[in-house]
Amino acid sequence: MKDSDGLDTGSRHKIIVGVDYGTTFSGVSWAESTKTRLEDINVINTWPGHRDSTWKVPSRIAYASENKNKIPTDQWGFQVSPNLMCYSWTKLLLDKSAQLTGYDDPSLKDLFGAGLMSLPKGKSAQCVIEDYFRELYIYLIHQLEKKMGPGVFNVTPMEIYLTMPAIWSDQAQLATRKAAEAAGFGSRPYDSIFMIKEPEAAALSAIKPHLGSDAIDPVQPGEGILICDCGGGTVDITTYIVLKSEPKLEFEELCVGIGGKCGSTYIDRNFNQWMQDTFGEEYTSVPMRLRGPGSRFMNSFESAKRNFGGPNDERGVEVGPIRMDIGPSVHYDDDELVVKLSKYDMQRLFDPVVKEVISLVKSQVKAAEKKNKRIDRLILVGGFGDSDYLNTKLGEWCKGKNIGSVTCPPDCQAAIVKGACLRGLEGLKPIITHSRAHYGWSWGKRFRSGIDPEANAYTDPLTGEKMCSGRMEWVIRKGKRLDENFKMKADIQSTFKLGQPLNENITMFSCSMDEPPEREDHHRVVKVGEISPAFSTSTFNDFQTRRSTSDGQTYHRFNYTIEVNFRSKGGILSFAATSDGRVIADATLGLLED
């Protein structure tokens, strides 16, 4: 690609940006394209409304229109004080096919407020995320102009690598990209957006320090590395096999990754429930601004949670300040205004969540064993991954399973956003991934008497043959190995009445069940999206024109192939329609209407 000055933008100096939009916190990183070291990646660590240095900013937004006389403009991240009506965990609403059971716990609403996984009137989840992304984008531009100068920044192309959960539906991936584009990302000339799965980004960042013969504890070809991304709302696990470590890392995904709802906010939920059980109305009557997220009280618990559970740590913790109208007790100091929890109390908050994490790890280890592979090391990333208690408990479990090491890289909370930036700097990605669902199409097929429902019967207008609609053709099976050049192909035969516009709408479906159903109307079959190539008769070198024996009308029948690229550089599905080896139409995946 060349710009108006004739410069090749493919080889120009660029800014590489990583954006990690998380359920509870988000991060942004950037580097110049001439850099390749992990240390050269800049992670933004100063944020509006926060005095201290921190890798991430809360994923929440408060609208001025809903907080009249409290804020003059919309507030986001750390600017959102505990007394404001705000919207959080919106990310989980973007994937309409996801099961949200477990997140509808009333105690979560009590802790995080009414805006938890809620939407303002007249706005979709994509719109709220777009508003949040816009604030992130404006702040990113401010930071880059300050570092580089407006003149240099304005003529330097930017590549943005936006992270997404590996288990997300294709519609959710597309909606994330659309929200980012509408917010301004990729809007300047020669700026571009790419998507990267969160486990891949985490793997790039986590493995990088172990590359090279001079590295401490270097990875070896053949090693199985389990990446455990422990965030606020979810835990995602994927295992990779290292094929080569020098001169350049080559790795592949070993098996289909898994995820669970056992992030660190469930420890917060357990703490909130413990406070209610221990202090009752004396606690619940304290205003949310003094005990909710962002309050000094909950910030104190956040610090205690992060530091709890190191080796030989027998201490309890103190959390405060919080003023409650009760006298001194074993759990409350009314002079210091602190709540006191013993080591046993803290363990009871952690253990149910840690148990779920270990269960996910166990499942992935079994999946590796089925392929006659073993896990040699486990690397923890994400904010919860830094927990001393989680590291200790996982280390004990892994020792019993002969897993060589459990490590947590420095600044593990920033691992994903650094890895997203590394993708842009080095172009590294797994040589092999695995399909996380079945993919296919719904075709008309010959009617099977006594098997197919009469309600789905129709007559082929050209042949007069009795057909059945809605039968699935699963082209890609769940767990299929997908190499870097993999494309799913489908030969399609379309029939149009003479004079009818040659506009086709082809629906692609997916299903995450182990054994997919036969029909598209099954409740577990999900629409991936609609592909809408537009043709004309001049598009095709050869097609049939016949008069129907049933209605006397003249029809055109066209044969062509739809190609679906599952490993495109953009990170989301891309499509092309071909005929006789020629690309006759580029097709885009459209967002489905609610």
pLDDT digits (tens, 9 = 90+) for 461-478: 878 889 999 999 999 999
Task: Answer with the one of 146, 180, 199 that is the final residue of a domain.
Answer: 199
Phi-psi region of 422 (alpha: psi -120 to 50; beta: other; left: phi over 0): alpha
Comparing 94-108, 134-148, 310-324, 353-367, the range with the smallest average pLDDT is 94-108
Q: CA triplet 208, 214, 216: central angle to 5 degrees?
A: 65
pLDDT for the residue 102: 55
Q: Decide which of 12 and 127 is more confident.
A: 127
Q: Decide which of 507 and 145 is more confident.
A: 145
- Say whether pLDDT at 560 is over 90: no
Q: Residue 1 — pLDDT band, cuts 50, 70, 90?
A: very low
pLDDT tens string 394-423: 999 999 998 988 999 888 899 999 999 999
Residue 383 lies in a domain: no
Burial class (CB in 10 A: 0-12, 13-18, 19+), 37: exposed
pLDDT for the residue 592: 58
CB 416 within 8 A of CB 380: no
pLDDT for the residue 294: 82
pTM of the entire predicted model:
0.85
Q: Tokens standing for 343?
A: 């080591």
- Say whether pLDDT at 578 is over 90: no
Task: Give the β-pairing of 317-319 and 338-341.
Answer: antiparallel
Average pLDDT score over residue span 266-285: 94
Residue 423 lies in a domain: no
pLDDT for the residue 542: 63
Domain that holds residue 519: 435-590
Average pLDDT score over residue span 354-363: 94
Output the domain CATH number for residue 27: 3.30.420.40
Q: Residue 261 — pLDDT band, cuts 50, 70, 90?
A: confident
pLDDT for the residue 148: 93
pLDDT tens string 16-64: 999 999 989 999 999 999 988 888 999 999 999 998 899 999 999 999 9
Q: How many domains does the chain have?
A: 2
Length of the chain: 594
pLDDT for the residue 464: 83
Rounded to whole angstroms, the Cα distance separating 132 from 180 reads 9
Residue 310 lies in a domain: no
Percent of the chain with pLDDT over 90: 56
Output the domain CATH number for residue 508: 2.60.34
Residue 451 lies in a domain: yes
pLDDT tens string 498-518: 777 767 778 889 998 999 999
Q: Residue 558 — pLDDT band, cuts 50, 70, 90?
A: confident
Task: Answer with the one of 159, 175, 199 that is the final residue of a domain.
Answer: 199
Comparing 40-54, 289-303, 526-540, the range with the smallest average pLDDT is 526-540
Q: Residue 389 — pLDDT band, cuts 50, 70, 90?
A: very high
Chain center to CA of 311: 33
Rounded to whole angstroms, the Cα distance separating 30 from 435 reads 30
pLDDT for the residue 387: 92
Q: Which DSSP category does 455 fall into?
A: G
Q: Decide which of 111 and 334 is more confident.
A: 334
- Say whether pLDDT at 548 is over 90: no
Q: CA triplet 204, 243, 254: central angle to 5 degrees?
A: 75
- Say whether pLDDT at 5 is over 50: no
Q: Decide which of 77 and 52 is more confident.
A: 77
Q: Residue 581 — pLDDT band, cuts 50, 70, 90?
A: confident
CB 391 within 8 A of CB 313: no
Instruction: Name, in order, each residue with C-beta under 8 angstroms of 578's C-beta and a sequence gap of 6 or more.
Output: 560, 561, 563, 584
pLDDT tens string 368-387: 999 999 999 999 999 899 99
pLDDT tens string 156-206: 999 999 998 887 888 888 899 999 999 999 999 999 999 999 989 999 999
Task: Give the β-pairing of 506-511 and 574-579.
Answer: unpaired
- Say whether pLDDT at 289 is over 90: no
pLDDT for the residue 517: 95
Comparing 14-18, 142-146, 254-258, the range with the smallest average pLDDT is 254-258
pLDDT tens string 205-228: 999 988 887 888 889 999 999 999
Percent of the chain with pLDDT over 70: 91
Residue 545 lies in a domain: yes
Task: Answer with the one of 148, 171, 199 that is the final residue of a domain.
Answer: 199
Q: Decide which of 560 and 567 is more confident.
A: 560
- How many other C-beta atoms are found inside a 10 Å radius of the C-beta of residue 104? 10
Residue 151 lies in a domain: yes
Long-range CB pairs of 42-48 (<8 Å, 24+ gap) are 42/147, 43/411, 43/414, 43/417, 43/418, 44/139, 44/140, 44/143, 47/77, 47/78, 47/139, 48/76, 48/77, 48/78, 48/79, 48/139
**Amino acid symbol at 90:** T
pLDDT for the residue 252: 94
- Say whether pLDDT at 7 is over 50: no
Rounded to whole angstroms, the Cα distance separating 250 from 429 reads 8
Phi-psi region of 312 (alpha: psi -120 to 50; beta: other; left: phi over 0): left
Residue 374 lies in a domain: no
Burial class (CB in 10 A: 0-12, 13-18, 19+), 216: exposed
